[in-house]
Structure 1
């Protein structure tokens, strides 16, 4: 039995499906940890999280098992490992934590509480494990709950009753703008109830629409914060634990100040885009820079994510594009240091007018012609993407996509969207923030990244003379509050009206939200920021008559 343990926390960025690459990351982290007794890694770090239906493929599970065998053999000397992996046993597949020590798989523990809500559907591919006992590492009994297991009382309670001396929870917990505090409070409640010190290890990195923000930490049995790793960064940190009369205590180690508020949202957008580009092998991004705030903020995030040399902006003016928009787009590109080209869509508009004239003759101009402009821009961007390789970055925000104020195959086209889960009011706040601050890890410039006029001027799609967004929509402050009530909170009409909104406005927004479902199903993926993003988080039928109940 030992009275001293060095436990290294490996807050790493795995890649889903890249078993050999993840194996290399684990080996590198183990080497960096040096003389540790134990190195702990995030949930399903060998497969990447979430592996989804890859888990149903026998060849994939075989590759994971081979990697585990190699890692286990390497623990004949040096530190033991706690590694997350999908694991087959007795004809079932589990979300498992494996203790690798002494050259073998010393113990396996399986996730009990499989999440099946929001973005999670683990019950689709995994079997639930039994309530676990602790694993034994050189005479120390360590409880290893897996992510969702700590959000219910039973698992930690069972571990404490089974003699655990220390809890090490391994997680792949996605970012949401207010989640860090909830994690900390959840862990603190377990410390209070069990009397045991607690390590919370979380992975970092982007995976499709999810961003994992790291922010791993350790709490002593006395409820003090002993370790705090940064958010949105990979980090390997060693912690020193000693056994005393009252149990295990952790020496204070790194105490990073975690990003929160607007900084956390912005950094989640940067990390999500950076990893989507990098992990999918795109050479860069292509952005339609309109002179408006959405494309300006998207361009700033892109430059901060991958550097100005990998961001190509294109201004595509029409006869309705203002001189101010041309100037603002040029100034944005100058401030960011990225390339800007100008391609007029007027010849395309004229060609479509001539092509459609036999059928459209005698009918008044309406939204059809506005959508043709947007789609001409989409075709132009996709042509450039096909020819030169960069991914088109869509620039629509959550407010617009919610109510269908966006054009299918036009401004909605693209491979990814950093604003997909960001309401317009938050777009304004993030733009002001980025003009004042340059977050850690950013590749973009210090100082302003867009002209103040871009933030101050009334938003407009500029598809007809003197057009303003608020000609078609409620003011964004009201619209965003109503949408938050409908999307994130599932409130009813009377509850939303009680917040001070007109019943007719709420009913209108509800109808627009419902009718735009078919558009959102065809939208590109984008960074999840809120508790309920469009896509896997919120699943509504396209054919849906429930909105008629408002009448």
Structure 2
């Protein structure tokens, strides 16, 4: 039995477009004499559809498109498609009105449905809001071959791997008990750094645990804040990887199941970025490209300050959309250093992006005159500094509105965490490209971009004669917002290696203040940083969507209250 694994990049809600993608790969699979085609979780509507699932018209349209798709697919091919399916017993049982389902299409009709059993409600997932859990084992018999059907989270509850069980049932154990020949898993598993290594370890362990091959298909592409990295996998009963889909790209993977020998034969194993910096780069490029494309933007604009954050974002945008579609705007103030301008122009020349320069001194003077009667007798300080950032934000938004460009903001995770950013200023934009990238990682990425190792994954950008994409001075100079004379980031923040360590321990590892101090960090610095994190919550909830690349991002998975009286210093365990 020849199996085709379709690693698709759907657009959420584009039912007809997603069906066309499925039909196109089905025709390729049938031409290659495949018998079974797998598509990702919720492949017809795209993942995550979120509250579109609460719209009855959306569900009805999905049913109509599914029927049309069934009738146009090659009749000799069995196709598994992911949909949100109605729960006919919802009113009687009081359960949710939908299932997260896999539909078996063949010979012009819907043969049967299989329902996801485990519904995640942690981090970015909220499936219990929409779906009822499936209650039966999902076994598909195709040409005498018994195939166990599972959906994403169904695979992630193996107690012998995790050391604990999150859910009461283990669908994979149940399927193995049904004497299936192999198990398939239709997935939409979001990317975070290092997750592929975890996936491969988990599949290796699970296949060995149940002496059963596993075919895992994953969605690819960016959908809002989430990035899906593909890298679909096939492992044999010993857990050896037989085939892998491309990383961060659509793919059609082929394997053969030998029913006589009860084994899957090896397929293709393309290279994929295993190093963290390469993974992050590829993820951010895909995230920017798809966010722009799926929102209808062809061109972007960003502020170029001569700093390292805007340098990285400009490089990502140029790689994602082409340098000809990126506009960098320099907005020097009286406090801008000469090297800020020359560094920004050198970066733009390296990338090949267009620039415009708009000095903001006249606008600063206008604001000062307008506010002078109210501000008389006060000292110049944070309010005046923020006006500069807001002038720049207004200019960038005007350019974005005037020319239909997507404004990409350039703040990193360290700044967003502690509020070292200006609401309606440098936070302005439609997408925050590096809002989940700590400052220390920003430096690592820029250094990596200038290294020979980057050449395997950076396709659109060419180093200059010095071998640089990011000018060296941008990387080596002390970071500064340049909102007042001689200002440096270290005047307001701890060194970034200290800050990022504290933030990682608190945000990602959920360590208490006492734990962080016990880990070697200064108590006063820890207290100040955690207080800054708390106070900045109102800013984060008004920020542009940020691309998620870590386990704990300030996005849909971060649900902190703004008006809270809990103090981090109260945390003792």
TM-score by length of 1: 0.97
- Alignment-derived partner of residue 409 in structure 1: 424
1:507–1:550 contact (8 Å) kept in structure 2: no
Shift of 1:72: 2.0
1:229–1:258 contact (8 Å) kept in structure 2: no
Aligned-residue RMSD, C-alpha = 1.3
Of 15, 20, 27, the match for 1:19: 15
* C-alpha separation in 2, matches of 1:442 and 1:479: 33
For residues 99-132 of structure 1, the C-alpha deviation after alignment (integer angstroms, 9 at most, x for no partner) is 1123221121101110101101011111111142
- Alignment-derived partner of residue 363 in structure 2: 348
Instruction: Please give the residue correspondences for 1:81-96 in structure 2 after superposition, counting only pairs within 5 Å.
Output: 81-90=79-88, 91=90, 92-96=97-101
Instruction: Provide the secondary structure at the position in 1 that maps to 2:422.
Output: coil
Of 36, 39, 46, the match for 2:37: 39
Shift of 1:478: 0.4
* C-alpha separation in 2, matches of 1:550 and 1:364: 35
Shift of 1:444: 3.0
Instruction: Please give the residue correspondences for 1:124-273 in structure 2 after superposition, counting only pairs within 5 Å.
Output: 124-153=129-158, 154-245=170-261, 247=262, 249-260=263-274, 261-273=276-288
Shift of 1:243: 2.0
Instruction: Provide the secondary structure at the position in 1 that maps to 2:101.
Output: strand
- Alignment-derived partner of residue 386 in structure 2: 371
- Alignment-derived partner of residue 118 in structure 1: 123
Shift of 1:438: 3.5
Shift of 1:535: 2.2
Instruction: Provide the secondary structure at the position in 2 that maps to 1:449.
Output: coil
Q: State which drifts further: 181-190 or 206-215.
A: 181-190
- Alignment-derived partner of residue 64 in structure 2: 66
Q: Does 2:449 align with 1:444? A: no
Instruction: Provide the secondary structure at the position in 1 that maps to 2:450.
Output: helix
Shift of 1:160: 1.2
Instruction: Provide the secondary structure at the position in 2 that maps to 1:106.
Output: strand
Moved over 4 A (4+): 548-551
- Alignment-derived partner of residue 382 in structure 1: 397
* C-alpha separation in 2, matches of 1:76 and 1:354: 72
1:16–1:51 contact (8 Å) kept in structure 2: yes
2:225–2:555 contact (8 Å) kept in structure 1: no
Shift of 1:32: 1.8
Of 90, 110, 113, the match for 1:105: 110
Instruction: Provide the secondary structure at the position in 2 that maps to 1:244.
Output: coil
For residues 251-291 of structure 1, the C-alpha deviation after alignment (integer angstroms, 9 at most, x for no partner) is 21111122121101111000000000001101211010000
* C-alpha separation in 1, matches of 2:417 and 2:278: 24
Shift of 1:549: 4.2
For residues 346-366 of structure 1, the C-alpha deviation after alignment (integer angstroms, 9 at most, x for no partner) is 011000010000011111111
* C-alpha separation in 1, matches of 2:103 and 2:484: 61
Shift of 1:439: 4.9
Relative distance call for 1:136 and 1:449 in structure 2 (3 A) is same
* C-alpha separation in 2, matches of 1:441 and 1:239: 30
* C-alpha separation in 2, matches of 1:16 and 1:83: 15
Relative distance call for 1:433 and 1:468 in structure 2 (3 A) is same
Q: State which drifts further: 82-91 or 378-387.
A: 82-91
Shift of 1:548: 6.6
2:147–2:184 contact (8 Å) kept in structure 1: yes
Of 6, 18, 21, the match for 1:10: 6
Instruction: Provide the secondary structure at the position in 1 that maps to 2:270.
Output: coil
Q: State which drifts further: 251-260 or 335-344.
A: 251-260
| Structure 1 residue ranges without an equivalent (≥5) | none
Shift of 1:75: 4.6
- Alignment-derived partner of residue 504 in structure 1: 524
TM-score by length of 2: 0.93
Of 454, 473, 482, the match for 1:462: 482
Instruction: Provide the secondary structure at the position in 1 that maps to 2:252.
Output: strand
Instruction: Please give the residue correspondences for 1:245-324 in structure 2 after superposition, counting only pairs within 5 Å.
Output: 245=261, 247=262, 249-260=263-274, 261-324=276-339
| Structure 2 residue ranges without an equivalent (≥5) | 91-96, 159-169
Shift of 1:550: 4.6
For residues 314-341 of structure 1, the C-alpha deviation after alignment (integer angstroms, 9 at most, x for no partner) is 0000000000111000001000000011
Count of residues paired in the alignment: 545
Shift of 1:494: 1.8
Shift of 1:139: 1.4
